Amino acid sequence: MLSMLGLGAAGLVTAPYLQRGLEAFLGSAADKDPTGLTGLLPNGGGFRYYSVAASVPRKGPDTYRLTVDGLVDRPATYTLDELRALPQTRVVHDVQCVTGWRVPHTPFEGVRLSRLLDAAGVRPDAGAVRFTCFDGTYSESLTLQQARRADVMVALRMKDAPIGHAHGGPVRLYVAPMYFYKSAKWLSGISVTSDVRPGYWEERGYDVDAWVGRSNGRGDTPTV
């Protein structure tokens, strides 16, 4: 399979059967690729696939749950249908990875994080939000002020379709103004904390405040 990927990446083979094979791969074995290699595939739409976990379980309407807890008055657990039933917001913005690739004007849709925080009743001593994922490994964090921005959401749709497994579906965090590592895939937990707890990549050197073009020593053109 990897040699086939190599061919595909080099653009040497473009037959439809190969594309079907690649889609099958993206749907299964790609879950085990922590390298981003599959991002070199054709028709990836400019996105690269990332996962720091060796494999990630699939979750759908029957099995997906999002918990909101920590320094809140009303902890809650949401099903996928419950999230879909809440007012949805749509943001179209450039996606920028800290390794350099950019995908312009990508629509995301979902529930504003601020709405879920307000529903939970954030306590006065809270200062930050920690995010965990059902891949069992990844985590992220935002200050409460960042988390309350209108362009930060619990996303259910990307590119006007439900978010697929490879892109962190059924639910991922989406933080429009920051490098894409802030947008945690396979989101399963939102916990309100007193202080920022650095996330997976932040423990490994990336900036917690990950504004595009103004962090991580990078001078990327501002995203719009």
Which residues are at the interface with ligand MTE (CB under 6 A)?
47-52, 97, 133, 135, 138, 167-168, 180-181, 183-186
| Main-chain dihedrals φ then ψ at residue 90, nearest 5 degrees | -125, 130
Closest approach, Cβ 213 to Mo ion, in A, equals 15
Provide the β-strand partners of residue 157.
109, 162
Question: Interface mask (CB under 5 A) for Mo ion, residues 88-107, using x and -?
Answer: ---------x----------
Stretch that binds Mo ion, among 60-68, 71-79, 81-89, 174-182 (CB under 5 A): 174-182
Question: Tokens representing 56?
Answer: 């990630």
133 binds, among Mo ion, ligand MTE, none (CB under 5 to 8 A by kind): ligand MTE
Stretch that binds Mo ion, among 82-90, 158-166, 176-184, 213-221 (CB under 5 A): 176-184
Between 148 and 159, whose beta carbon lies closer to ligand MTE? Answer: 159
200 binds Mo ion (CB under 5 A): no
Closest approach, Cβ 15 to ligand MTE, in A, equals 25
Q: Within 13 A of 125's CA, how many CA atoms are on the CB side? A: 6
CA distances from 212 to 31, 32, 42, 99, 218 (A): 27, 28, 26, 12, 8
Other beta carbons less than 10 A from residue 59's beta carbon: 17
**C-alpha to C-alpha distance for 179 and 57, rounded to whole angstroms:** 25
